[in-house]
Structure 1
Amino acid sequence: MPIDAAKALAAEPRTDGISWTTKDVQLYHLGIGAGADPDRDSPATDPDELRYLLESRLHVLPSFATVAGAGAPGVIGGLSLPGVDVELAKVLHGGQTLEIHRPVPARGTATATHRLAAVYDKGTAAILVLRTEVADADGPLWTDDSQIFVRGEGGWGGDRGPSNRLDPPTGAPDRTVERPVRADQALLYRLCGDWNPLHADPEFAKLAGFDRPILHGLCTYGITLKAVVDTLLGGDVTRVRGYTTRFAGVTYPGETLRIRMWRQEGSVQVAVSAVERDDAPVLTDTIVRHS
C-alpha cells in the first residue's frame, strides 16, 4: 500500500526554524487581493486597505500563519513523510484548521514543529492530517492542521475519522459580499511559497483532472477570512481565535467568489461559492471563531 499509516504516524516530528518580515506579510496580503476594493468605483486605494499593505501600520491577517516562513508542509510537504509514497497528481487539499494563540506579529522568528497527527481511511481515499505547531520566545503562536486528500488510497480498513459537517445555517445571511479573483491571482499567490504546479501549469492541471490551473485553496481561505474581518469584525484582525474550513470545490482564476456570512454567538458561519458556475460550492463547513 502506498500509504503505510503505522509508519507515517510513528515518524519523529520535524522541527524547523522559521522567520518572516513585513515584506512577506505584504506579499501575502497582495496575494489574497488586498488593495483592491470591489465596492468602490474610485481607482484610488481604499484607505482601510492600507492597514494590510503599509509597513508603518501593518495589521496581520491570521491566515498569514499558513505561509509564514514558507508555511506549513501543505500538499507537497505531505508527500515527503515516511510511509507516504503517492503521486502529486492524486493529491488535493481537503481542509484547513487554524488556532490562533496570540496575534501574529508583523515580523518574527519562531520554531515550527511538524508531524502527522492522523491518517483516515475514507474508502475511496485517504486523508492525512498534517499538524504544525509554531512558538516563539514568548510561547505558542498558532497551531495549523492541513487535511490532505489522497484519491484512490483508502480501503485498508482504518479509522474513518470524525465528521466535521455542520448543520446548514438557517435564515438569510447577515452579510453577503462578492470578491473577484484576478486572472493572475494564483501566479501571484504562489510566490508566498506554494509551488504546486496544479496552480500554474496547464498540462499538470489536465493530468490532475482539471481543464486549467486552479486557485490555491489557501488563497480562497485567506480571501474569505479577510472578507469576514472587514465586514463583521470591524477590521480587527486580533479578534480572530480560530478558523476552520472544508474545501468542497475549486476556484478558477478570473471567477467571482460569493461569500455568505451568518453571525453566531462568538463565531461566524460562512459559505463560499463560485458566482459564474451557478453558485457551485467552494468552501463549506466554515467557521471563524472570534472574541
Structure 2
Amino acid sequence: MADSSEFDPQSILSHKYPDTTYNYTERDVVLYALGVGACGQDAVDGDELKYIYHENGQQFVQVLPTFAALFSLASALNGFNLPGLQYDPRLLLHGQQYIELYRPFPSSGCIHNKVSLAGLHDKGKAAIIEIETKSYEKDSGELLCINRMTGFLRGAGGFSKSSQPYSYSSYSSNKVSSLKIPKSQPFAVFEDCTQPSQALLYRLSGDYNPLHSDPMVAKVAGFSRPILHGLCTLGFSVRAIIKCICRGDPNLVRSISARFLLHVYPGETLITEMWLEGLRVIYQAKVKERNRTVLSGYVDIHRLSSSL
C-alpha cells in the first residue's frame, strides 16, 4: 500500500513520461498474428492467410488492428514510475484497453510514441492508473493510433489524504465499464480454440511478464497456472469480429474498446458473441469450458460497401 506521507497525488499531474520508439518488421507482424491465433485452426484460412503470408501476389502481409496495442507495451514493461507509488509488478492486472486507429499500419516501420498520464484512482486496497500513448510514424510524423490502457495495481491504494478516494482522469474511462450486453440473440457467434502454448507464443511479441509463463509467479498471483495475456484474448475476439462482421477486411476497424473481466488459461476455448448496432459491434468473449465471461467491449467500424 502506498505511503500517503511520501506520495502526493497532485504531484503526478506534472509527471512527464519519456517518449519511446517502437521498431518492427514484417516478421514481428506475422509472429503477432500467430500469437493471437490467426490460421491456428486452418493453416490455409482464406480470411487470415494474408496476415501470415504474401497471399495471391500481395507485396506485404496485412497488419491486424490490435497490433497497435504493442506500441504502448514499453510504457507498461518499464513500470509506471510514479514517485512514491509502490506496487508489486506480479500483482498488476490489465483492466481496460482502448485503441483508436487513423489508418492501416505498414507491414514494417518505426513508431514514435508520446506517453502521458491520463488518470489515477485510489480504490483503497488498489490503485488504478490510466496511460495514454499517441503513436506517430517516425518518418512522416503522421498520427497512426492512440492507445489508452488501464492498469489495476493490487496493494497500491490507500494514498489518499482525504476521506474520499482520490480520483483524477483526463478522459472518460467508464464507457466500456457501463456498456450493456444486449439480451437479444447475437448477430454472430464465433468459436476458437487457444493452444496450450498460446501464452508462450504470444509473449514473443514483447510481453514477457512471468505471470504468463512461470507457474510459481502465477501461484503467487492467485492462479493455478500461468494465464493468457488479456491482449491476446482481445486479439482473438477482434479477429472474430473481422471475420464475421468485416468480411475479412481488417481496415474496416476504426476503434476498439475492451474490459478484461476474468483470466483465460491457455488451451481453453473462446466463444465471441457479437451484436451489431449501426456501425458499432458490441461483443463479449466467454470461456466455453467454464462458461464464464472473460472480456467485453465494442468495436466501431467504417461503413461497409453494402448492408449486412
SS in 2 for 1:66: helix
| Alignment-derived partner of residue 159 in structure 1 | 167
Q: Structure 2: state its 5+ residue gaps.
A: 303-308
After TM superposition, the score normalised by the length of structure 2 is: 0.86
Superposed displacement of residue 13, structure 1: 2.9
Kindly state the Cα deviation for residue 104 of structure 1 after the two structures are TM-superposed. Answer: 1.5
Deviates more, 1:240-249 or 1:54-63: 54-63
Residue 131 (1) aligns with residue 139 (2): no
Q: Rg larger in 1 or in 2?
A: 2
Output the CA distance in 1 between the equivalents of 2:8 and 2:48. Answer: 47
SS in 2 for 1:94: strand
Contact in 1 for aligned 2:85/2:156 (Cα 8 Å): no
Per-residue deviation at 1:260? 0.3
Against the structure 1 CA distance between its residues 4 and 78, is the aligned structure 2 distance closer, same or farther, given a 3 Å change threshold? farther
Which stretch of the first structure deviates more once superposed, 168-177 or 13-22? 13-22
Percent identity over paired residues: 38
- Indicate which of 241, 256, 264 corresponds to 2:254: 241
CA displacement, residues 113-139 of structure 1 (integer Å, 9 cap, x when unaligned): 112211012333211001111012151
Q: How far off is 1:4 after superposition?
A: 4.8
- Hey, what's the Cα distance between the residues in 2 that align with 1:257 and 1:210? 19
Give the corresponding residue for 1:17. Answer: 21
Q: Secondary structure at the match of 1:245?
A: strand
Kept after mapping to 1: 8 A contact 2:43/2:49: no
Corresponding residue number in structure 2 for 1:282: 294
| Range with greater deviation from structure 2 (153-162 or 198-207) | 153-162
What does 1:117-266 correspond to in 2, within 5 Å? 117-136=118-137, 137-155=140-158, 156=160, 157-159=165-167, 163=174, 164-266=177-279
Contact 2:119 2:168 in 1 (8 A): no
Give, as a single letter, the amino acid of the residue that structure 1 aligns with 2:14. Answer: A
Cα deviation for residue 81 of structure 1 reads: 4.0
* Counterpart amino acid of residue 73 in structure 1: S
Tell me the residue number matched to 2:10. 6
**Quick one: distance in 2 between partners of 1:116 and 1:67?**
18
**Following TM superposition, by how much is the alpha carbon of 1:110 offset from its aligned partner in structure 2, in angstroms?**
2.3
2-structure distance, mates of 1:208, 1:170:
34
In structure 2, how many angstroms separate the alpha carbons of the residues matched to 1:29 and 1:44? 12
Could you say which residue in structure 1 is the equivalent of 2:101? Answer: 100
- What code does the residue aligned with 1:209 have? G
Partner of residue 78, structure 2: 77
Is contact 1:121–1:160 with CA below 8 Å preserved after alignment? Answer: no
CA shift at 1:45, angstroms? Answer: 2.1
Q: Contact 1:274 / 1:280 at 8 angstroms: preserved in 2?
A: yes
CA shift, 1:26, in A, is: 0.3
TM-superposed deviation, 1:240: 0.7
| Larger mean Cα displacement after TM superposition, 226-235 or 112-121 | 112-121
State the shift of 1:145 in Å: 0.9
SS in 1 for 2:115: strand
Residue-pair matches, total: 282
Q: What residue number does 1:28 align with?
A: 32
Q: Is the 8 Å Cα contact of residues 181 and 283 (structure 2) preserved in structure 1?
A: no
Deviations 1:34-79 (A, max 9, x none): 1123xxxxx65223321110143411111101114x83523x3344
3-state SS, counterpart of residue 153 of structure 1: coil
- Paired with 1:181 and 1:170, the residues of 2 have a C-alpha distance of 27
